[in-house]
């Protein structure tokens, strides 16, 4: 990972204490999108990982994974596929319940969108407890046998999500670590 980019991300990402609940240190990822140079560098970094791992489809996790994931898919001229919250996707879907750092929810993906032959990169802004990513991993493993690549901008490593995810996937990449 590019050390200058890591340094810049650590300097620039705003952290808002007690949002949306007391005790949560909220990492405001929009401090990246508001900064065109930093935004571009993040997308370029993710795109080169995409090329390196010969990815055929990018999956973005709702909602912030859509912002980064769709640009990476565009840049690599490959399809973007959303994992959405409960009840938003039409047609045949596969679903999984998961835990958030705050609350619980369910994620869904359209069954037709991933083929068994696809090499998938899953992108989200952040991994905390890992509930969302682990549920996504299980969903995608039921659709493709190929190795999954997970990319996050921030890993709240003290919450242990990335450690748990690494038990299911040996390709988990985070740009920076932070304390949640």
25 interacts with ligand AMP by CB under 6 A: yes
Q: Is 155 exposed, middle or buried (0-12, 13-18, 19+ CB in 10 A)?
A: buried
Catalytic residue among 45, 64, 84, 108: 64
In angstroms, what is the minimal distance from the CB of 88 to ligand AMP? Answer: 15
In DSSP notation, 88-107 reads: ---SSEEEEEEE-SSSEEEE
Tokens of 6: 């890591």
180 interacts with ligand AMP by CB under 6 A: yes
The yes-or-no answer on residue 14 being catalytic is no
In angstroms, what is the minimal distance from the CB of 140 to ligand AMP? Answer: 15
Among 1, 21, 100, 115, binds ligand AMP (CB under 6 A): 100
In angstroms, what is the minimal distance from the CB of 116 to ligand AMP? Answer: 26
Among 125, 140, 153, 176, binds ligand AMP (CB under 6 A): 125
The yes-or-no answer on residue 64 being catalytic is yes
Tokens of 24: 């949560």
Residue 84: half-sphere exposure toward Cβ, Cα within 13 Å: 13
């Amino acid at each position: 990972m590019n050390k200058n980019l890591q340094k810049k991300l650590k300097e620039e990402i705003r952290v808002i204490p007690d949002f949306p609940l007391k005790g949560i240190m909220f990492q405001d990822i929009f401090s990246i999108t508001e900064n065109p140079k930093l935004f571009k560098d993040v997308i370029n970094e993710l795109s080169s990982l995409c090329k390196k791992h010969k990815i055929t489809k990018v999956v973005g996790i709702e909602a912030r994974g859509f912002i980064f994931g769709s640009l990476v898919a565009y840049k690599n001229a490959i399809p973007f596929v959303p994992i959405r919250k409960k009840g938003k996707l039409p047609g045949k879907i596969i679903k999984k319940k998961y835990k958030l750092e705050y609350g619980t929810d369910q994620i869904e993906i359209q069954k037709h969108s991933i083929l068994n032959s696809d090499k998938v990169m899953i992108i989200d802004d952040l991994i905390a407890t890992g509930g969302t990513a682990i549920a996504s991993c299980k969903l995608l493993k039921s659709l493709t046998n190929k190795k999954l690549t997970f990319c996050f901008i921030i890993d709240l490593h003290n919450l242990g999500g990335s450690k748990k995810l690494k038990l299911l996937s040996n390709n988990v990449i985070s740009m920076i670590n932070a304390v949640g």
